[in-house]
Structure 1
Amino acid sequence: MDPRFGWGAPVLEGSKVPIDAIVGLWQAGESLETVAEEFGITRDQAEEVCRAALRYDAA
């Protein structure tokens, strides 16, 4: 985590998109394709972020 980006919250490396923003949009019911388009990332990146968030929440 880098306090210069996202006030120290986790961000996606390279794009600096807050992880919470990606996961939040997906949890609100948007498709992974829509999430990816909204944040300028690939669908695979959006999916991996959401999968990691689910694993983290389950732990």
Structure 2
Amino acid sequence: MSEAKNPKYIFVVGGVMSGVGKGVTTASLGTIFKAKGLDVTALKADPYVNVDAGTMNPT
């Protein structure tokens, strides 16, 4: 594995609403960057500590 010299970060955010296309957007960007020859790693962070995101009201 080669060491990344200048890593770049892209954050895809969308709140607690599901179905707004966060996953599709992330996958599409990763595919485009890989096609350009870049190394891509996707990480999903769930910042809801001790909270069930499904019970949160997005409005």
With the shorter chain as reference, the TM-score category is 0.3 to 0.5
Bigger relative contact order (CA 8 A; separation at least 6): 2
Whose helix fraction is larger, Structure 1's or Structure 2's? Answer: 1
Q: Which has the larger radius of gyration?
A: 2
